[in-house]
């Protein structure tokens, strides 16, 4: 069976000239304005039990450009503005399909260009309304002969400029089938515990830079509120610390997920609701730093790329309280109990035991498919399966 080409985004940092930065800043502002105006119009229509689609918002954009108040929308490329409306349409489609929350107003500095609004020749990228190509740092090569279908330009809170090129990557092919499976239990003391008994330390990236972050935040708090230069500089210092933390965290998760996908055919994880877990004020900071949701997202799309399987077991499955040797279920197991001995005489490490039980439950789902229900769509369009289990005891 011929592998379907994978579309992959390659992200690079670039350094714009003053003229390019000004043009992109104008474009970001116009994209944000159009998106938010269209969202407001669709929300108002929704309160009247009416629906507005992309075609209608596109007509609205034409009308907005003709007004004196919004005439500046004509000064930038029209393609990013139309793309913003398409993204809004996708957001509403996902909302009505119960795959996402109601769309929120846009604040991010970004703009997407399609092939009609950029030129990519001889390794040089030139955007619409610009005379010179972008000064891109090609930190890794694009696939040979690749031609971008879309280009997304963005600026983060730390003031760094990035360009993301979406291309077909023929180098991404399914890996040879492996006969191995692994259960993965996530945690805070250890980021990952595998059913093999291996434990991956939690780097605690945010804690490592907490002193530097606190100092930058104190400096920001001492500046006068407003749009002054001092406050802007202080705000950028805080953003740079956060960016440093996020970069390290992302790099670590990429290495972990790539390794798991390459070594195992089936990877079983627990279906955690991180969104609800971070409501715990005592653990929210640590859970956010562990980035369990990012770990799962990376694991799922890489498994789709390389022909692997990720199975998410129901969050109420009693993985910690169930003896992986004899199947005995304990009534209670407080969180402070890290090791326990079953009536059968087996002594368990709490996390390793949980990972072993997750693996067994996931393989049962994969082989028999009994007592399961769809969990959520994977990047490949196939639903991961979720095992029905009794609710966990408090």
Average pLDDT over residues 156-164: 95
Provide the β-strand partners of residue 266: 181, 309
Distances (CA, A) of 201 to 190, 253, 291, 320, 351: 5, 12, 14, 19, 13
pLDDT of residue 309: 93
pLDDT of residue 330: 87
Same domain for 161 and 292?
A: no
Q: Is the pLDDT of residue 378 over 70?
A: no
Q: How many domains does the chain have?
A: 2
What does the pLDDT look like over 325-349, one tens digit per residue?
898 888 888 888 889 888 888 899 9
Q: Is the pLDDT of residue 390 over 60?
A: no
Beta strands 181-186; 339-341: pairing state: unpaired
What does the pLDDT look like over 261-273, one tens digit per residue?
999 999 999 988 8
pLDDT of residue 201: 93
Examine residue 296 and state whether it is found in any structural domain, yes or no. yes
Least confident of 218-222, 251-255, 277-281, 378-382: 378-382
- 142 is in which domain, residue-wise? 6-169
Average pLDDT over residues 35-42: 97
Average pLDDT over residues 49-54: 91
Helix (H) or strand (E) holding 14: strand 6-14
Same domain for 138 and 107?
A: yes
Same domain for 132 and 268?
A: no
Examine residue 185 and state whether it is found in any structural domain, yes or no. yes
Q: Which residues are catalytic?
A: 185, 270, 351
Average pLDDT over residues 42-51: 91
Coil, strand, or helix at residue 347? strand
Query: Could you tell me which residues come within 8 angstroms of residue 97 by beta carbon, excluding any fewer than 6 positions away?
Result: none
- Assigned token pair, 235: 């705000």
Same domain for 146 and 275?
A: no
Same domain for 280 and 358?
A: yes
Same domain for 98 and 34?
A: yes
Q: What is the CATH number of the domain that holds 272?
A: 3.30.420
| Residue-averaged pLDDT of the chain | 89
Distances (CA, A) of 173 to 11, 49, 80, 259, 394: 20, 47, 32, 16, 45
Same domain for 68 and 194?
A: no
Same domain for 140 and 257?
A: no
Helices (H) and strands (E) in the chain, counts: 10, 16
Better-scored residue on pLDDT, 103 or 384? 103
Q: Which of 358, 359, 321, 355 is nearest to 337 (CA)?
A: 321
């Amino acid at each position: 069976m011929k592998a379907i080409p994978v579309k992959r985004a390659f992200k690079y940092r670039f350094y714009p000239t003053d003229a390019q930065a000004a043009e992109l800043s104008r474009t970001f502002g116009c994209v944000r304005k159009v998106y938010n105006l269209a969202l407001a119009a669709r929300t108002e229509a929704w309160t009247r039990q009416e629906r507005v689609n992309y075609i209608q918002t596109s007509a609205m954009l034409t009308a907005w450009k003709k007004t004196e108040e919004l005439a500046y929308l004509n000064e930038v490329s029209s393609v990013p503005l139309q793309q913003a409306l398409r993204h809004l349409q996708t957001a509403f489609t996902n909302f009505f399909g119960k795959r996402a929350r109601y769309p929120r107003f846009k604040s991010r500095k970004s703009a997407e260009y399609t092939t009609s609004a950029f030129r990519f020749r001889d390794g040089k990228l030139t955007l619409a309304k610009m005379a010179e190509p972008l000064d891109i740092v090609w930190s890794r090569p694009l696939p040979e002969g690749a031609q971008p279908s879309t280009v997304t330009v963005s600026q983060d809170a730390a003031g760094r400029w990035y360009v993301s090129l979406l291309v077909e990557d023929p180098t991404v092919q399914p890996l040879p089938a492996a006969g191995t499976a692994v259960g993965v239990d996530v945690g805070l003391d250890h980021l990952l515990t595998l059913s093999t008994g291996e434990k991956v330390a939690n780097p605690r990236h945010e804690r490592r830079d907490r002193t530097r972050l606190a100092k930058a935040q104190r400096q920001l708090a001492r500046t006068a509120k407003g749009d002054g230069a001092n406050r802007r500089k202080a705000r950028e210092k805080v953003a740079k610390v956060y960016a440093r933390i996020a970069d390290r965290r992302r790099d670590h998760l990429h290495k972990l997920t790539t390794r798991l996908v390459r070594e195992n055919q089936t990877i079983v994880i627990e279906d955690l609701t991180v969104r609800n877990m971070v409501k715990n004020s005592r653990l929210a900071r640590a859970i956010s730093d562990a980035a369990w949701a990012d770990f799962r997202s990376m694991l799922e799309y890489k498994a789709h790329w390389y022909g692997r399987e990720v199975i998410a077991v129901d969050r109420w499955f009693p993985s910690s309280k169930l003896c992986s040797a004899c199947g005995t279920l304990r009534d209670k197991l407080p969180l402070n109990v890290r090791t326990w001995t079953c009536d059968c005489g087996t002594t368990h490490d709490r996390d390793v035991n949980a990972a072993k039980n997750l693996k067994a439950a996931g393989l049962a789902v994969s082989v028999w498919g009994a007592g399961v229900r769809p969990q959520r769509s994977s990047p490949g369009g196939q639903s991961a399966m979720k095992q029905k289990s009794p609710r966990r005891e408090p």
